[in-house]
Amino acid sequence: MERPMTVRVMSGVLGAALAVGLIAIPTAGAAAKPVSVTKTIVANADTYVNSIRDYFFCQTATCKKNKATEKSAAASGMTALVNEATAASTATIPSSQKAVVAKFINDVELLANAYLAYPKESSSGDIARNTGLLYYQSANVGSDAYLLSTLVNGGKVAYVPWSVGAVAVLYAMQLDAQALNAKSATVAQDVFASQDLQSEAASLLTDANGPSASFNALIKQFATIQLQVSAQEIRVLEGKKASLSSSKISALGTQLGTLFSKIVASQKALSK
């Protein structure tokens, strides 16, 4: 099937319910001082995130052998993350930590939605979408917890541990761009990939909070343009007229390719 010009121009641009309750905070007697919700997140979020990733993205013989145990740990970890996010949503948060905590709450909600939807999906497209969400939203939650730890403990933000979330989103975008570029893809599959790119671009916009102002600016510009392009792709794929001219869409596609190359170069430099 011949695909619309917008898709041919843009595809391949990147190149290659849970029970919600407040957490119980342990105390050692009536006089003990409660642990703040942010410190609880910092202390435990990585363990919970890793339990989810170990189950859904198992690659070793050990985890494959212990799949039932891994599944139980993932369920417990997801419940604990939701509880932490719920507690944070009603807690008094220091002003310096509010933005990161708000992002943590939002990322946990998106992760939980994907977690709950995953076993209910039957189509390969929906399963792939939820797998992608689980992949990059779990990474985002981990990055949020890391950034929060530097604020709670007064440390300096390092690029590599912070960038895990942003890099995961960019990787998911690359996979969707490749899916959009597949010659065997149907129009429905192209719509699916374009919608995913929209969601991923929106997520990437929230990731522009790292220690490198130049990297933040690059991913913000990239995500903003991707949102425009995906909106046009979806309109054309659905049989509607694009609101931008073909030349404008082509120019935006060129910008995306240039920006992605700059992002990759910046990531390599900052990771040294």
169 located within any domain:
yes
pLDDT class of 52 with cuts at 50, 70, 90: very high
Reported as a single tens digit per residue, the pLDDT across 179-192 is: 887 888 889 889 99
Residue 167 and residue 188: Cα distance in Å, rounded? 27
pLDDT at 7 over 70: no
pLDDT of amino acid 63: 81
Residue 127 and residue 94: Cα distance in Å, rounded? 39
pLDDT of amino acid 167: 96
Split into its structural domains, the chain has a count of 1
pLDDT of amino acid 89: 95
Do residues 1 and 186 make contact, with C-beta atoms less than 8 angstroms apart? yes
149 vs 3: which has the higher pLDDT: 149
pLDDT class of 199 with cuts at 50, 70, 90: very high
pLDDT of amino acid 121: 84
23 located within any domain:
no
pLDDT class of 237 with cuts at 50, 70, 90: very high
pLDDT at 236 over 60: yes
182 located within any domain:
yes
Tell me the two tokens of residue 161. Answer: 């541990």
Sign of the torsion formed by the C-alpha atoms of 263, 220, 158 and 48: negative
Average pLDDT, the chain: 86
What torsion, rounded to 10 degrees, do the Cα atoms 68, 71, 76, 81 define?
170
179 located within any domain:
yes
Give the contacts of 200 (CB within 8 A, at least 6 positions apart): 132, 136, 169, 172, 173, 176, 226
Lowest-pLDDT range, 31-45, 228-242, 248-262?
Answer: 31-45
29 located within any domain:
no
Residues of the domain holding 224: 5-15+37-270
20 located within any domain:
no
pLDDT of amino acid 123: 84
Reported as a single tens digit per residue, the pLDDT across 97-113 is: 999 999 999 999 999 99
For 20-71, give the DSSP string: --PPPPP-SSTTPPPPPHHHHHHHHHHHHHHHHHHHHT--SHHHHHTHHHHH
Tell me the two tokens of residue 230. Answer: 């995906």
Give the contacts of 212 (CB within 8 A, at least 6 positions apart): 159, 266, 270
265 located within any domain:
yes
Reported as a single tens digit per residue, the pLDDT across 111-140 is: 999 999 988 988 888 888 889 999 999 999
